[in-house]
Amino acid sequence: MNVLIPSALRSYTERAEAQASGETLAALLADLERQYSGIRFRMIDEQERIRRHIRIFVNGAQVHDLGYRLDASDEVVIVQALSGG
């Protein structure tokens, strides 16, 4: 499935979109990690939760559960919040 990558993570993928597969969000992120070593740690913390500054949307709806079931036709968008002052 198509995964849109935020600019802050493009140093891993070298492009704005990536192709990955998985029956769940966790499996999809594992596939991204297999292809782009180190990217998963930037999105998932040590407690296996989505990091606070990361938002993941599947077909436009925000997903919080790594066990969320995916379909091969889904579009996944990863958004990284920016901060500063």
Nearest of 24, 3, 20, 21 to residue 68 by alpha carbon: 24
With contact defined as beta carbons under 8 Å apart, do 66 and 44 qualify? yes
Tokens of 7: 């600019």
Residue at 61 is within a domain? yes
The domain that contains 62 carries what CATH number? 3.10.20.30
Residue at 59 is within a domain? yes
Q: Structural domain of residue 30, as residue ranges?
A: 2-80
35, HSE (Cβ side, Cα atoms, 13 Å) = 18
What's this model's pTM, rounded to 2 decimal places?
Answer: 0.91
Residue at 85 is within a domain? no
Please count the structural domains in the chain.
Answer: 1
The string of pLDDT tens digits covering residues 28-71 is: 999 999 999 999 999 999 999 999 999 999 999 999 999 999 99
